[in-house]
Amino acid sequence: MSTSNYKFYEFFAGGGMARAGLGNRWSCLFANDFDHKKAQTYATNWGQDSLLCEDIRNLSPCDMPDKADLIWGSFPCQDLSLAGGGAGLKGDRSGTFWPFISHIEELCSLGRAPAIVALENVVGTLTSHKSSDFVSICKALDDLGYKFGAVVVDAAHFLPHSRPRLFIIGTKGDLPTFKGIKSKPSMPWHTRGLINAFEKLPKSLKDNWIWWSIPKPKARELDFIDIIEENPKSVKWHSPSETTALLSMMSEINLAKVETAKLSGIPMVGGIYKRTRYEHGIKVQRAEVRFDKIAGCLRTPSGGSSRQLVLCVNGNKVKSRLISARETARLMGLPEDYKLPRAYNEAYHLTGDGVAVPVVRYLAEHIFEPVIQAFKTTETEKEIV
């Protein structure tokens, strides 16, 4: 049985996907989410000893035991997303970043500052309000005495799922000797969008910036077709007429993709989203398919058009349906024994709102654990002296 070497708090915990990614070397001291349905799933999979279902604004350091090495915060993306309303950090949902920061400030004042603060959100954070929201996040960490940097990691490196996300990672005080830092940005982790946002930081924040360096991962082993269920329990295959209707919503370009898949000689699976397009000044709903071996980015369902469908093509045989709840879990890297909500929409909302498990594991392996260990080694050496 593995011994826990590291301790963490998990805010905006959802179904505990950050916890799944950190793994059994990590001990969760405290987990919080305001959504009762998500909290129920969290408790089902992880137990409820460390879980408090409550609005983050109503918490205090008294609710958070011991001292965490890492505080994780996947704060809501709705107001920062390109598809959102554009309220940014002033919005009701994404604005919960500020009470999150306030809690860390209080912990710091009590001598309980974590070695690492890790934030996860959509890449739209980089451009929200002309990058001023990104600047505000960096300044908040700077004000707490943290040095910080960011990486953009696409889940497609590890899973058949196009899901680029921004991870802002701060460390308390001067970082001990650590090989995972470079003097300049490096691909694929530091995208042009991230570099542009960095350039908009004032000099005082640039001076405390860290270019995190992590190795390029091995080639992905799974493709979209590998995670498809033949007989899913949460959804049913469409009737032939329903599939025909779906195909009729495709443009010539997308229909050509289907024809190419038919002629490929091998079974192929594509992901479909229904999107509203303007053609000749008229609003039209189109079904758009991709056959690049990965699914489109999962999103929380707010209507039929935001649920991803799958199109399975084997020669002239074409069938379609909604993506299943278990398939969404697989796209997020959750294990097969992870217990999902019974209701389809609740399961889809849980997974679509989460963080990809292997991405968290990769960051833990190459940044969190080595940094924390370096801090602990430095503290031990000081005690000996």
Range of the domain at 281: 224-351
pLDDT tens track for 176-213: 667 778 889 999 999 999 999 999 999 999 999 999 99
Mean pLDDT of the chain: 92
According to the model, what pLDDT value does residue 75 have?
Answer: 81
DSSP label at 341? P
Cβ atoms of residues 61 and 81 within 8 Å: no
Contacts of 241 (CB under 8 A, 6+ apart): none
Which of 76-80, 180-184, 250-254, 299-303 comes out lowest in average pLDDT?
A: 76-80
Q: What is the CATH number of the domain that holds 115?
A: 3.40.50.150
Residues in the chain, how many? Answer: 385
Does any domain span residue 342?
yes
Domain count, the chain: 2
Tell the residue number behind the tokens 């309980």, with chain if given: 112
According to the model, what pLDDT value does residue 254 have?
Answer: 98
Does any domain span residue 360?
yes
Q: Within this chain, do residues 12 and 161 fall inside the same structural domain, yes or no?
A: yes
Does any domain span residue 41?
yes
Q: Within this chain, do residues 106 and 199 fall inside the same structural domain, yes or no?
A: yes
Q: Within this chain, do residues 51 and 130 fall inside the same structural domain, yes or no?
A: yes
According to the model, what pLDDT value does residue 84 have?
Answer: 53
DSSP label at 145? T
Q: Within this chain, do residues 193 and 206 fall inside the same structural domain, yes or no?
A: yes
Q: Within this chain, do residues 74 and 103 fall inside the same structural domain, yes or no?
A: yes
User: Helix, strand or coil for residue 171?
Assistant: strand
Distance between CA atoms of residues 348 and 329, nearest Å: 8
Q: Within this chain, do residues 206 and 229 fall inside the same structural domain, yes or no?
A: no
Q: Within this chain, do residues 33 and 73 fall inside the same structural domain, yes or no?
A: yes
According to the model, what pLDDT value does residue 134 have?
Answer: 95
Does any domain span residue 328?
yes
Cβ atoms of residues 116 and 176 within 8 Å: no
Cβ atoms of residues 359 and 162 within 8 Å: no
Q: Within this chain, do residues 209 and 288 fall inside the same structural domain, yes or no?
A: no
Does any domain span residue 174?
yes
pLDDT tens track for 36-48: 999 999 999 999 9
Inform me whether the pLDDT recorded for 345 exceeds 90.
Answer: yes
Give the confidence band of 1 by pLDDT, cuts at 50, 70, 90.
very low
Give the confidence band of 299 by pLDDT, cuts at 50, 70, 90.
confident
Inform me whether the pLDDT recorded for 151 exceeds 70.
Answer: yes
Tell the residue number behind the tokens 């969404």, with chain if given: 328
Q: How many CB atoms lie within 10 A of CB 342?
A: 10
Q: Within this chain, do residues 73 and 203 fall inside the same structural domain, yes or no?
A: yes
Q: Within this chain, do residues 337 and 253 fall inside the same structural domain, yes or no?
A: yes
Q: Within this chain, do residues 362 and 214 fall inside the same structural domain, yes or no?
A: yes
CA proximity to 200, closest of 116, 143, 120, 128: 128
Does any domain span residue 280?
yes
Does any domain span residue 14?
yes
Give the confidence band of 110 by pLDDT, cuts at 50, 70, 90.
very high
| Max Cα distance, the chain (Å) | 77
Q: How far is CA 370 from the centre of its chain?
A: 22
Distance between CA atoms of residues 272 and 342, nearest Å: 24
Q: Within this chain, do residues 259 and 205 fall inside the same structural domain, yes or no?
A: no
DSSP string for residues in 292-334:
SSSBPPP---SSGGGS-EEEEEETTEEEEEEPPHHHHHHHTT-
Does any domain span residue 1?
no
Name the pairing type of β-strands 309-314 and 317-322: antiparallel
CA proximity to 177, closest of 381, 374, 380, 377: 374
Cβ atoms of residues 72 and 9 within 8 Å: yes
Mean pLDDT of 27-54: 97
